[in-house]
Homo-oligomer: A and B are copies of this chain.
Amino acid sequence: MNKNIFNYKKNNSKRIYLTSENGIKVGMKEVSLQNGNKVIIYDTAGMHAEEDYKHDINKGLPKIKENWIKSSLEKHGEFKTQLRYAKNGIITPEMEYVAIRENQGNTDPGNAITAEKVRNEIAQGRAILPANPKHPECEPMIIGRNFLVKINANIGNSALGSSIEEEIEKALWAIKWGADTVMDLSTGENIHQTREAILRNTPVPIGTVPIYQALEKVNDVVEHLTWEVYKETLLEQCEQGVDYFTIHAGILKEHIPYALKRTTGIVSRGGSIMAKWMDHNNKENFLYTNFKEICDILKKYDVAFSLGDGLRPGSLADVNDAAQFGELKTLGELAKIAYENDVQTIIEGPGHVSMEKIKENMDLQLKYCNEAPFYTLGPLVSDIGAGYDHITSAIGGAMIAWYGTAMLCYVTTKEHLALPNKDDVREGVVTFKLAAHAADIAKGHPGAIERDNEMSKARYEFRWIDQFNLSLDPERARKFHVEMIKNSDQDYCGMCGPHFCAMRITKSIKKE
């Protein structure tokens, strides 16, 4: 296990812990600057980033939530979801953790995220706090539009197989670059063991798409899928500790004709599977007809719904059409049922959307879905960016996050073309972290712009080391600079050279 991938020390950083009034310790990243200042940053690395921590993948991470789960159970008599606690006016340790975490060291009380605010947002269904007690290694985090915008990275072995250890490394690699959640989209052999290993070794919520495993159980024959196989799969994954499930319960028989008229049909794997199943069996979507029972299962484990958009547009030609918005309305109905059943819920969104149509997506999602958090894939603002679709989607992602989307699913440079390698995952995660951060700034999230301001001061004072360490990818920034300048004590950069540095010239005016 190569734990050195985190190596905060190299970037003058370390994992620190802030402590709440009630003694809850919240992990953060602290960057020490050359001028003696310290900057506290939201951190998803968990104990992996502690300097002295020795990780054993067979033992997994310490179960940091174990005592909270136990004490909540003792205190309240029976297991409840975070949504139920929130509705009851109870602030859980998890909510307290999240409040401190979201503040990122912000000390302005007028602008602070309080535990009560966290509770209230969850109680209203405007935010979720993934909290399967079977994943006690996971640090509490929150997804909602009044909090920091989160990003998800997808990993997963292909049918061609890769080792379990490699899959854990992929997950930690995504987390190193800033992934807030990881979706395990593994298929093929060892799917159960791979997921188990990922859950035991990651400090972030893990999401899955259970239909993939259910389909494998019926040898990839869509027509043979049954509610029973699916239900068994849900229970299996709940027991393992999965934190949220993508469930394509909103695509209905009545939507299919609209989808078949499209330029690119159905581009969601789960959506196409359910459409095929409905068409062949001439029955309504069994995820829809059994929705109440799914709620009962998810409620028992506090697993959150990520209601899948099986009919998201796969091209600008299909955007905001009857198929897409028809399904969105159904997702809204289901979100209400889930809410009434105390199951936390987010709603998945598109896809390919040209810029002028993005706002409508956000507005209708809020309207139809009772303000449940929106979780989008991009959106991609053009179809012709093949090889650069991390950028096509980061443009749309930043915009929709500013408009109110709570979490962005990353897209890599290989989208539409191939599976991402390690470099692609890094590039994709950092790109989406950037989009999410730009939205945090635009929304005025506490503590968001402070890091940028520290960066700008470092820039004006030619503190190069600080510029690297405050960047989203310190290693890349350092590499680019050092290749050009060789050392980092210069009061100019490689772009303009010593004679043409505008900031240097400005300072020479100040001195006079």
**CA distance in complex: A315, B456 (Å):** 6
Would you call A499 and B159 a contact (CB within 8 A)?
yes
In the assembled complex, the Cα of A197 lies from the Cα of B394 at a distance in Å of 38
Interchain CB contact (< 8 A) of A431 among B391, B472, B473 = B391
User: Are A452 and B382 neighbours in the complex by a CB distance under 8 Å?
Assistant: yes
Which of A315, A354, A499 gathers most chain B CB within 10 Å?
Answer: A354
Q: Which applies to chain A's interface (DSSP): helix, strand, loop or mixed?
A: helix
**A76 beta carbon closer than 8 Å to chain B:** no
Complex contacts, A473 vs chain B, CB 8 Å: 386-388
B476 lies within 8 A of A387 (CB): yes
- Pick from B316, B317, B415, B452: contact of A316, CB below 8 A: B452
User: Do residues A480 and B263 form an inter-chain contact, with CB atoms below 8 A?
Assistant: no
Other-chain residue from B266, B315, B355, B453 in contact with A453 (beta carbon distance below 8 A): B315
Asked if B453 contacts A317 (CB within 8 A), the reply is yes
Contact residue among B212, B388, B480, B512 (Cβ-Cβ distance under 8 Å from A414): B480
Contact of A418 among B276, B431, B443, B481 (CB under 8 A): B481
- Chain B residue nearest to A484 (CB atoms) is B418
- Chain B residues with CB under 8 A of A471: 384-387
Q: Does A314 count as interface, using CB distance less than 8 angstroms? A: yes
| Cα-based distance from A501 to B270 in the complex (angstroms) | 10
Contact among B260, B383, B457, B484 with A263 in the assembled complex (CB-CB below 8 Å): B457
Q: For residue A22, give the distance in angstroms from its CB to the closest CB of chain B.
A: 33
Q: Which residues of B contact A42 (CB under 8 A)?
A: none
Q: How far is the CA of A497 from the CA of B386 in the complex (A)?
A: 18
Bound-state CA distance A438–B355 (Å) is 7
Are the C-beta atoms of A441 and B266 separated by less than 8 Å?
Answer: no
Listed in ascending order, the chain A residues whose CB lies under 8 Å from chain B are 158-159, 187, 212, 220, 222, 256, 259-260, 263-269, 271-273, 275-276, 279-280, 314-318, 354-356, 381-388, 390-392, 394-395, 398-399, 402, 413-419, 430-431, 434-435, 437-439, 441-443, 449, 451-453, 455-457, 459-460, 467-468, 470-473, 476-477, 479-481, 483-485, 493-497, 499-503, 505-510, 512
12 A-B pairs within 8 Å (CB atoms) are namely: A220-B499, A272-B509, A273-B505, A316-B452, A386-B468, A399-B399, A414-B480, A414-B494, A415-B495, A418-B481, A418-B483, A419-B494
Top 8 A-B pairs, shortest CB-CB distance: A315-B456, A418-B484, A265-B506, A418-B494, A387-B476, A272-B505, A355-B442, A272-B502
